[in-house]
Chain A
Amino acid sequence: MEISLRINGSAETLEVQPQVSLLDALRDQLGLTGTKKGCDQGACGACTVLSDGARITSCLALAVQYEGHEITTIEGVDHPLQEALVRADGLQCGYCTPGQICSAIGMLAEHKEGMASAVTEDDEVDELDEEEIRERMSGNLCRCGAYNGIVEAIKEVAG
């Protein structure tokens, strides 16, 4: 099937089988290999990209379903969080890092919109404290255990 979508700001037309995930389409057809495959079943967050600004796991997204959407991958990201992560050493092997970054960008937008999390008390969404960041980022696993640095970097850019 032929599908058209916008990826990192430019229009792309792809020929894909229906069973092909957005993740595989990005990596294998577009050469956008910054988005990683850690589990291929929505359990690790390494494949996180933004679809119309919302973070999704691209491994469970069929590419054909995203016809007409605006997809942002790590290759299209230019965000202060990237440098903040390096300063805070919020990465080691680097494999989960693109997913952490895309997820954090989506997360900051969700928070700005006033969306609560499982640890938001009494429905009052206010400051993005560490507990909130940790809960909201829990869909992104890091086996190197760089969590402290990731949270520190997010706090820094969240202001």
Chain B
Amino acid sequence: MTTAQKPTGAVGKPLDRVDGKTKTTGAAEFAAEHTYPGLAHAALVHATISRGRITALHTDDASAVPGVITVLTHRNAPPLEPVPKTSPLDLSSMVSGTSVDYLQTDEVYWDGQPIAVVVAENAAAANQAAALVRAEYAPSEAAVDFTGAEANARPQPSSPIMPAGAKKGDAEEALAAAPVALDLRFTTPPHNHNALEPHATVAVWDGDRLTVHEPTQAIDWFRAHLAARFGLPADDVRVLSPFVGGGFGGKGAVWPGTILTALAARATGRPVRLALSREGVYRTVGGRTPSIQRVAVGASHDGKLTALVHTSVTRTGRVGGFPEPVTTQSQHLYAAENILLEQKLVRLDLLPNIPMRAPGEAIGTFALECAIDELAYELDIDPIELRLRNEPEANPLDGKEFSLRTLAESYRQGAARFGWHERTPEPRSMRDGRWLVGMGAASAYHPAGYFTADITVRLSADGTVLVRCGFQEIGTGGATAQAQIAADALSVPFQAVHVEYGDSALPKGPFAGGSMQTATVAASLLEACKKLKRSLRTMARRTGGDSHEEVLRRANVPHIEAKVGSSTQLGRKSDQARFMLRLARDRRRWVRASTGAHFCQVRVDPDTGEVRVTRWTGVFSIGTVVNPKSAVSQLRGGIVMGLGMALSEETLVDPRTGRIMNPSLSEYHIPVHADVPPIDVSFLGTPDPTMPGGILGAGELGITGVAAAVANAVHHATGKRVRDLPISVDKLL
């Protein structure tokens, strides 16, 4: 019988990623590398005002550049269907980065908006010509200064899926009455994702069928959106994205480059490639919102939280943007008697923001976890002890059950691994030679859940397994992890499983976002494997046979296949409905999250204030760890991005003009090798009983809490509290 085979136990093994060789030999073909006969090249011309109208566009010089095929502007571009209205019942409707109908209007909505596209025989000619297009504008008054707009902030729209606030008791009153209280203001600057691969699109029309090569985190939503904009049935659009050179949220929406490349290809009848410059990415792909946050905490002398207030002001663009859920973690982390959470928004004439790794929690944990550390000093209680004293049994807001809550254990294990007991609490009390040394801790928190995905699993008579699902490999090791899950589910060796992904021609995959892709694909994969085994058992009752191969051979079939999901219109609709129902049901029953504890050691130069992170320990709970090797990498990656957020990253938006002034990797400082110490990551490994395969998310958890752990360590080293990121030397002098 088939079930007699021994499980292979691939899940939990630190296997090498399956695409490692492709990526280390230069064989991996990214989107910008696709070529077609007759390929033309596009370049964008960007607006240099934040709001107003184009009164003249001078394109003659550009058109005269040898090799230029056309210069598209709002005057001559082919029509586009308008951006579809967003609907909560159709997640793909939210995929447009902005609501602007590019090249269909003379209106300018942000500095950087594409106002013309040059198409030429080669990229050099296109770039040269784009630089020669001159625009004249009638500017109108633009609101671009975030800090200056704080007073105009309005409450964020709230929905059951993304509540913009919460309230328990009367936190302000409790704060006023608290024996010990702190009321603090924090700020975080805008950030950009800066995936190393700039966005690139290759678009090819074959009659009324469109093929697009583009690195995306949302193949299916891209396809739906492109179909809507070009008035096509979704089946006539194909999106290929086998390699994605980093996403972090930046490749989760459709930005102008994608639309305009397809438009340029339609206008010229040529296949067209647009490879954005680094500056082009800054000007046309949104980043993380800045924030102004208030965290106020009140406590009894023994450290019991009586009041927790967390409010935020963030921004969106006037033409779109994502209201960032900054206070989410504050609903769940501490057993405060009274809680008040509020999120407010300002809308500015800037390129709309978009989720960037752990939107909400990345910056929200900075404020909350710094405030808790400050309170610990105020109370003269160890910061970890203070957290343990306020560790809730159930969700603090409403008493809902936690599906898995292991934060206290993360702190216990982490403290031991890190050597927290060696820390002397007094600021400036620890030294290493001339350096000041500091240790800080903070909690990591990220909500968990899963989408829906279609999948097929095929078992062949030669014993191999083919898993097909159009998910995205953005560096997480997704194909490797799913192969491990399939191997165990079907009791075959890991090497026998091949996973196909990254193509809209495959069964519809989920969005690679919200740290939900692995669990989502796993859910469908496990269900499909179950179906497949059932069919196989039925078959085996007829044929007999000791192995999969034997059964199929005796049945005289080349393979057997199981399928989850349906790509029909009806299938998609019911899928969506199922997802929404499940989401609502699950939210009523449990609070689900991945969690962890960060421990950071810094040394600070006593003369110059230079901060170097010298040691890091993180103990995390991400449910079942499918592949410890790639999971460690996910967590480390989040921590490294957090180090950048803590110490050096800031997108400079000139408040006079709304223009990004450092659209480059030389002036936007992401961490380099020398900034990153060895990072010790470990996992508790307890499966989440409510998640498919027990799997919680890993991609975003790492960055949450990092900036707070660094800031707390810097305080311990120097005695200075820096509440405005990044913690640059000027703030420590």
Q: Which residues of A contact B (CB under 8 A)?
A: 17, 19-20, 24, 27-28, 32-44, 46, 73-75, 77, 82-83, 85-87, 89, 91-98, 101, 119, 130, 133-135, 137-151
Contact = CB atoms under 8 A, between A and B. Distances in A.
A139 B674 CA distance: 10
Contact of B20 (A44, A85, A145): A85
A149 B665 contact: no
A149 B681 CA distance: 13
Interface string B367-405: 000000000000000000000000000000000000000
B673 A151 contact: yes
25 contacts: A36-B196, A36-B245, A40-B278, A42-B666, A75-B25, A77-B26, A86-B21, A86-B24, A89-B629, A91-B23, A92-B475, A92-B477, A92-B633, A93-B197, A93-B243, A93-B244, A94-B243, A95-B196, A95-B245, A97-B23, A141-B665, A143-B196, A147-B671, A149-B633, A150-B673
A135 B634 CA distance: 23
Given A27-B33, A34-B27, A46-B196, A145 B245 contact: no
A41 B664 CA distance: 9
B485 interface: no
Interface stretch (B94-102, B107-115, B346-354, B635-643): B635-643
B636 A145 contact: yes
Contacts of A137: 673
B25 A74 contact: yes
A82 B671 CA distance: 23
A58 to B, nearest CB: 13
Interface in B614-641: 629-630, 632-634, 636-641
A20 B124 contact: yes
Query: Nearest 3 pairs between A and B by C-beta?
Result: A34-B26, A145-B640, A94-B23
A144 B33 contact: no
Given A41-B666, A44-B665, A145-B641, A89 B632 contact: yes
B670 interface: yes
B248 interface: yes
B198 interface: yes
Contact of B24 (A17, A19, A101, A142): A101
Contacts of B641: 143, 145
Contact of B673 (A20, A38, A86, A147): A147
B26 A93 contact: no
Contacts of A135: 673-674
B277 A93 contact: no
Nearest to A86: B20
Interface of A is mostly: loop
Chain B CB within 10 Å — which of A33, A94, A97 has the most? A94
Contacts of A44: 196, 665
Contacts of B193: 143
A43 B666 contact: yes
A135 B674 CA distance: 5
B33 A33 contact: yes
- Which residue, of A17, A46, A97, A143, has the highest number of chain B Cβ atoms within 10 A? A143
Contacts of B665: 38-39, 41, 43-44, 141
Contacts, number: 173
Contacts of A86: 16-17, 20-21, 24
B636 A148 contact: yes
A118 B27 CA distance: 34
A154 B28 CA distance: 22
A133 B636 contact: no
Interface string B2-41: 0000000000000011011111111111101100000000
B633 A94 contact: no
A149 to B, nearest CB: 7
B246 A93 contact: yes
Contacts of A149: 633
Contacts of B638: 145
A139 to B, nearest CB: 8
B26 A85 contact: no
B476 A92 contact: yes
Interface string B506-520: 000000000000000
Interface in B650-674: 664-666, 670-674
B307 interface: no
Contacts of A83: 24
B673 A134 contact: yes
Contacts of A95: 30, 195-197, 245-246
A123 B630 CA distance: 38
Interface in B94-152: 122-124
Contacts of B160: none
Contacts of B187: none
Contacts of B639: 145
Contacts of B124: 17, 19-20, 24
Contacts of B277: 40
Contacts of B442: none
Contacts of B20: 85-86, 91
Contacts of A43: 278, 664-666
A96 B30 CA distance: 12
B77 interface: no
Contacts of A35: 26
Given A46-B196, A89-B630, A91-B24, A148 B679 contact: yes
Interface string B265-281: 00000000001011000
Interface string B175-188: 00000000000000
A133 B636 CA distance: 18
Interface string B187-221: 00000011111100000000000000000000000
B560 interface: no
B65 interface: no
A120 B52 CA distance: 55
A85 B674 CA distance: 18
B16 A93 contact: no
Contacts of A34: 25-28
B565 to A, nearest CB: 27
B709 to A, nearest CB: 16
Contacts of B243: 93-94
A149 B673 CA distance: 11
B232 interface: no
Contacts of A32: 26
Given A33-B29, A74-B25, A94 B664 contact: no
Nearest to B681: A148
Contacts of A140: 672-673
A16 B23 CA distance: 29
